[in-house]
Structures are given as C-alpha cells and as structure tokens.
Amino acid sequence: MSTYTEIEYALSEGVATISLSRPDKLNAWTAVMANELRHAVGVAGHDPDCRVIVLTGAGRGFCAGADMGGLQSTAASGTTSGSSVMHPDDVRFPDAPGPDPEPDYPGRFGYLFACPKPVIAAINGPCAGIGLILTLYADMRFGAEDAKFTTAFAARGLIAEHGIAWLLPRLIGEAHALDILLSARKFDGREAAEMGLLNKALPGPDLLPHVLDLARSLSVHASPRSMAVMKRQVRRSYHQTFGQSLSDADAEMQQSFEAPDFAEGVDSFLARRAPRFQGI
C-alpha cells in the first residue's frame, strides 16, 4: 500500500475508508490531495477484497474547499499552476462489468463515476467549493445535521466549475441549484437533506457508524458485479434515450444470467444463508 501524506486509507470488512486528512486546514483541497485520492480510488476499485468505498474527512471538517494559498497564487497570476492539473485518464477500469461511462464524464472527478465500487460520502463537517463538488461524484451522500455547506464560487468571483452546473440541477432541481450557486449562502445538513443533496442527515456522532453499517451491509448482501453494472447503467442513462438504456439493460441481463453471482444469489436465497459473491 502506498504511503499517503494528505489522505488516510484503511480497508476492513470489505469497506475501504478514505479520509481527506489535513485536519488543521479543515481538509482544504490541494493538488497533492487530489492526486492521492485519485490513486487510492484506483487501488480500491481494482482490489477484489474491497466492495464499497467510504469517503470522509479527518477531524471536524469534510473539505473546506480549495486551499487559500493555491487560490492566492492563481489570483496573482491569473492561471492555475501546472502542479494542480489533473490527468483523468490515469485511473482506468477497462475490465469492470457494465456499460463504460468514462467517455461521458471527462474532467477532474470522472474517475469516481467510472469506478465499479459504490462510493458513499460521509460529510462530517464543513463542505465548500470543490469539496462540495467532490461529493456530487459519490453515489450516495450522508451528512451531519450541523455540517455547513456552501458552493462558495460566486463569493470568490468564480463560476460553477468541474461539472457542478450539470450535476447539481439533476440532483436537486434547477431552482435549488441556482439558489445555492448564485447566493453562495451557507446551509446545514438538515436543509441539504430536505433539498435532496443528501440521502439523509444524522446527528454528528451517528454519521460514520451509520455509513459504515450501510457499507458493510452492501459488501455482504449485494453482488459486487450487480452494483458495478447498475451504477454504470444509471450514469450512462443521462446520455441515452430510453430505448438505448433498455437495450443496454437487455444485454446486461443476459450477461448477469451467465455470471457466477446469479447462481450464488439464487442458491443462497434458497438455502437461507448469506451469499458468497465473487469480488471484482
């Protein structure tokens, strides 16, 4: 396992927990953190012992947005430093089952959609700017009730970056999306859940236990192959007609019938025991 400096990685009971780890800076985003997270997701995505990925923050924050030092440098020069440029093609999952969503999602965080493992964000504290965008690329989001959220961009003279203008309205509707984009106002986890940004808001102490329980349940009871295919079906569907999506489903269903997890799913149900699905 690689040694990371700005994230933490742990694998237990089929769940890879990746924590952004600059707690003294509320896990403010840097190029190093971006590269380490991308690498860690690649490791987890290719590890058959990993079934689910949980993404959270160390300390009392999730991610307070871009590190201000980097923003100051960008403001002074008018350009982004080369060290922060991402290379979205260096985390690939060509052998993962299901329709490949990668061509539809280029850019900084597209690899999270391409990753065949479910990614669950546990948003434990302040979540702003690029930190908020990062969570939109998770498959599910849970947050602390008192966690503070903000898009922040309008208050910094910036725009809706890294795909948030496309993603956010599809998650919470145009009215909510424009509200929080244009105003850059702060809102808490309760409101985030009400508008559909979070699957659920929980008291802070209950957040990570809830998410880890869910992740462990998925790792035991859900077929890794099925989860990978369904995740990819949903991501591809945003760029398809209904007929195209249906055609994909018909083809994937036939392949599912032929995969070992289908037989195991039926056998374990009939035997009333926990399934022993294969990893991917």
What does the pLDDT average to over 25-34?
96
Residue type, 173: G
Residue with the two structure tokens 């989001």? 141
The angle at the Cα of 224, spanning 238 to 19, to the nearest 5 degrees, equals 80
Domain definitions of the chain by residue range: 7-219, 223-271
In this predicted structure, what is the pLDDT of residue 71? Answer: 53
What does the pLDDT average to over 11-15?
97
CATH hierarchy code of domain 7-219: 3.90.226.10
C-alpha to C-alpha distance for 274 and 127, rounded to whole angstroms = 37
Cβ atoms within 10 Å of 128's Cβ, excluding its own:
25
In this predicted structure, what is the pLDDT of residue 81? Answer: 47
What does the pLDDT average to over 242-253?
97
Grade residue 137 by pLDDT with cuts at 50, 70 and 90. Answer: very high
DSSP-derived 3-state class of residue 10: strand
Helix residue ranges, H only, 14-91? 31-46, 68-77
Residues 195-242 pLDDT 10s: 999 999 999 999 999 999 999 999 999 999 999 999 999 999 999 999
DSSP-derived 3-state class of residue 1: coil
Structure tokens, 93:
């999952």
DSSP annotation of 29 reads B
Residues 99-136 pLDDT 10s: 999 899 999 999 999 999 999 999 999 999 999 999 99
In this predicted structure, what is the pLDDT of residue 212? Answer: 98
In this predicted structure, what is the pLDDT of residue 74? Answer: 54
In this predicted structure, what is the pLDDT of residue 91? Answer: 85
Q: How many CA atoms lie within 13 A of 84 on its CB side?
A: 14
Residues 6 or more apart from 188 whose CB is under 8 A from it? 145, 146, 147, 148, 149, 201
Residue type, 130: I
Smallest Cα–Cα separation from 265: which of 254, 277, 255? 277
Listing DSSP states for 131-179 in one string gives: HHHHHHTSSEEEEETT-EEE--GGGGT----TTHHHHHHHHH-HHHHHH
In this predicted structure, what is the pLDDT of residue 68? Answer: 75
Average predicted confidence (pLDDT) for the chain: 92
CA distances from 170 to 136, 176, 177 (A): 10, 10, 9
DSSP-derived 3-state class of residue 7: strand
In the predicted structure, residue 84 carries a pLDDT above the cut 60? no
Cβ atoms within 10 Å of 94's Cβ, excluding its own:
7
